[in-house]
A = this chain, B = another copy of it.
Amino acid sequence: MSKGLPKRSEDYSLWYNELVKKADLAENSAVRGCMVIKPYGYSIWEKMQAELDRMFKETGHTNAYFPLFIPKSYLSKEASHVEGFAKECAVVTHYRLKNAEDGSGVIVDPEAKLEEELIVRPTSETVIWSTYKNWIQSYRDLPLLVNQWANVVRWEMRTRLFLRTAEFLWQEGHTAHATAEEAKAETLQMMNVYAQFAEDFMALPVVRGRKSANERFAGADDTLCIEAMMQDGKALQAGTSHFLGQNFAKAFDVKFATKEGGLEYVWGTSWGVSTRLMGALIMAHSDDNGLVLPPKLAPTQVVIVPIYRKDEEFEAISAKANEIMADLRKAGVSVKYDNRDTHKPGFKFAEYELKGVPLRIAIGPRDLENGTIEIARRDTLTKEQFELASQPITEKITGMLDDIQKSIYDRAFSFREEKTTEVNTWDEFKEVLENKGGFISAHWDGTSETEEKIKDLTKATIRCIPLARKEEAGTCILTGKPSEGRVYFAKAY
């Protein structure tokens, strides 16, 4: 078992990197900035996908698949869009290799140059709206509610596993509507779907908000977002939902015949979450012993470890373990019996702690005599003896899993509340940012210039304008100009 995870309090960043590797979640590949998502990490991502996919379908969306490649000219059709993505994209220029004539190996065949370069999609608005042009003629074709699960590539210079990688996995919803109101309602609905997923499944409290103009998606008229707080006091953007106005409809000439007989441009939205959520999940709950997973996303919710010296003991324990396992499976609990004889119980305990299995059951010979089992909770690292006769085991375990799910949410919520500070002066702002971190709720004059200046001076950005903010007149912490309400500043991932 790999030992020696660094402590969060000593080096949070190193703790995260080591945890991702030691818990078998992901690792760097031979290709700069591209990660390998390992089986254990991928099984958590699959659970996230399944829940999100269900929520998308329940809100009327269907999946489809669009090309990996985008012709360079397409990317350029929406001006601010290409501006946003051109600086970090992988470009395909050739379609063949050949053997070098000097025998030095395989080279790119200069005769196999593409007429037009292809961009590996950094996001798919352009290729999708070029397709929508053929799918949409009349108001009867609207709304068009499509989602895609795909890989995308953004050639980031500084990468970190899950949080920022050159290639990542995500879903991108792309919808088309007859009216601005409908498109805005969709934008809001999907932001709420993300928030609900984060809170109910990831046990991750989020702030629902709106991005400032500076932080908006390249090509959007409005970007809504959910923002989460990590244990080191830095914010993490966990999902975004964009109101695209008619920008892409105009760029790709997508018009529809209205009910009234007119011809109008379509209104659009797009929204996405990515494997970045894995980073948020890991950083929000885990501790110095390893991963802490919310039961609703844990690939294995309960592990049973036998404690024995003699073969007869092992047999009797296994019979009990199999009985418990069958009961729990019937109740929909995912459970594993680790009967490996190649590893000692202590090794197994450490392994499941590292991997964040929510509940561990240990059964020894004395337990068999007494009709008990030992149940250990991963989130609190507490143990209890449970008398099997006192309550049905399924009721006990599902009750504990529910409690863990709620409990780690509550802990993350309290932490975020504690890390959210209202400040009213520039000095206070700097002081809190430096010594405490977290979200800083402060007045801002609403201009991009001030926002940029604060970023330059402190590295803090406006994470969002909370949707739930109350109207409150005030003065900007930097300029003293009038402000209509507080926004959330933070240093961010």
Binding site for B on A (CB under 8 A): 27, 29-31, 34-39, 42-43, 45-46, 62-76, 82, 86-99, 105-106, 108, 117-120, 127, 130-131, 134, 140, 146, 150-151, 153, 155, 167, 169, 342
Contacts and interface: CB of A to CB of B under 8 A. Distances in A.
B96 A87 contact: yes
Given A36-B66, A39-B62, 12 more contacts: A30-B127, A30-B131, A31-B70, A34-B67, A36-B131, A39-B64, A42-B64, A67-B167, A72-B97, A75-B106, A92-B92, A95-B155
B96 A86 contact: yes
Contacts of A134: 27
B342 A106 contact: no
Contacts of A96: 86-89, 91, 155
Copies in the complex: 2
Contacts of A76: 105-106
Which 6 residue pairs are nearest across A and B when measured between Cβ atoms?
Answer: A34-B67, A86-B97, A39-B62, A37-B65, A91-B94, A95-B155
A92 B106 contact: no
A108 B93 contact: yes
A140 B91 CA distance: 42
Contacts of A86: 96-99, 106
14 contacts: A31-B69, A34-B68, A36-B65, A36-B67, A42-B62, A42-B63, A42-B64, A86-B98, A91-B94, A91-B97, A92-B92, A96-B155, A97-B119, A108-B117
A72 B96 CA distance: 11
Contacts of A70: 31
A170 to B, nearest CB: 12
A42 B146 CA distance: 11
A442 to B, nearest CB: 36
A393 B426 CA distance: 72
Contact of A64 (B38, B92, B94): B38
A94 B97 contact: no
A349 to B, nearest CB: 19
A364 B118 CA distance: 54
A65 B63 CA distance: 20
B87 A90 contact: no
A141 to B, nearest CB: 12
Contacts of A118: 31, 90
A117 B113 CA distance: 14
A461 to B, nearest CB: 24
B95 A93 contact: no
A27 to B, nearest CB: 8
Contact of A120 (B38, B39, B120): B120
Given A91-B92, A91-B108, A43 B72 contact: no
Residue from A43, A64, A89, A151 having most chain B Cβ neighbours under 10 A? A64
A115 to B, nearest CB: 9
A64 B36 contact: yes
Contacts of A39: 62-64, 146
A34 B95 CA distance: 14
Contacts of A89: 95-97
A86 B96 CA distance: 6
Contacts of A90: 69, 92, 94-95, 118
A404 B76 CA distance: 50
Nearest to A30: B130
Nearest to A94: B91
Contacts of A140: 342
A458 to B, nearest CB: 29
Contacts of A91: 92-97, 108
Contacts of A119: 97
A91 B27 CA distance: 24
A31 B73 CA distance: 11
A75 B31 CA distance: 13
Contacts of A106: 72, 75-76, 82, 86
A71 B31 CA distance: 7
Residue from A62, A97, A118, A153 having most chain B Cβ neighbours under 10 A? A97
Nearest to A148: B42
Contacts of A95: 88-91, 155
A46 B63 CA distance: 9
A95 B106 CA distance: 21
Residue from A34, A87, A90, A99 having most chain B Cβ neighbours under 10 A? A90
Nearest to A37: B65
Contact of A151 (B46, B68, B94, B127): B68
